[in-house]
Copies of this chain bind each other. A is one copy, B any other.
Amino acid sequence: MSELVELSQGERDALEKLEERQRPVRRGAVLQRENEPCNELFILRKGLMMSYVLLADGSRQILRFLFPGDMLGVSSAVYQEAPETLAALSDCVVSPFDRAALAEIMREHPRLSALILVYCQIERVALTDRLAALGRTSAKARVAALLLELRNRLRTTNKSIANAFALGLTQEEIGDATGLTAVHVNRMLRQLEEDGLITRESGRVTLLDERALGHAANYVNRYKGLDLSWLPPPRS
Mask, A101-136, CB within 8 Å of B = 1, is 011101100110110111011111101101110111
Is A74 located at the chain interface by the 8 A CB criterion? yes
Q: Could you say which of A15-23, A77-85, A152-160, A191-199 contacts chain B?
A: A77-85
Cβ-defined contact, A79 with B124, below 8 A: no
| CB-based nearest B residue for A51 | B128
Also in contact, A59 and B136, with CB within 8 A (given A78-B118, A128-B83): yes
Whether A80 contacts B230 in the complex (CB less than 8 A), given A59-B136, A113-B110, A132-B53, comes out as no
The answer to whether A136 and B179 touch (CB under 8 A), given A130-B131, A131-B63, A131-B127, is yes
- Cβ B179 vs Cβ A227 within 8 A: no
Residue in B75, B137, B232 whose beta carbon sits within 8 Å of that of A104 in the complex: B232
- Chain B residues lying within 8 Å of A183, measured Cβ to Cβ, are none
Q: How many angstroms between the C-alpha atoms of A179 and B138 in the bound complex?
A: 12
CA distance A61 to B129 in the complex (A): 10
Q: Would you call A99 an interface residue if the criterion is a C-beta within 8 Å of the partner chain's C-beta atoms?
A: yes
Q: Is the CB of A110 within 8 A of B106?
A: yes
* Contact A135–B225 (Cβ < 8 Å): no
Which residues on B sit within 8 Å (CB–CB) of A230? 77, 99-100, 102-103
- Copies per assembly: 2
Q: Which B residues are CB-close (under 8 A) to A100?
A: 230
Is A167 close to B, CB under 8 A? no
B227–A137 CB distance below 8 A: no
A55 at the interface (CB under 8 A from B): yes
Tell me if A163 is interfacial: C-beta within 8 Å of chain B: no
Minimum distance in angstroms from A77 CB to a CB of chain B? 7
Check A231 for interface membership: any CB of B closer than 8 A. Answer: yes
B113 and A178: CB pair below 8 A? no
Instruction: Specify the chain B residue showing the minimal Cβ separation from A100.
Output: B230
A218 CB–B CB distance under 8 Å: yes
Given contacts A83-B220, A130-B131, 15 further A-B contacts (CB under 8 A): A55-B132, A63-B132, A74-B117, A78-B226, A79-B225, A79-B227, A106-B111, A106-B117, A107-B110, A123-B124, A124-B124, A131-B131, A134-B135, A134-B179, A135-B179
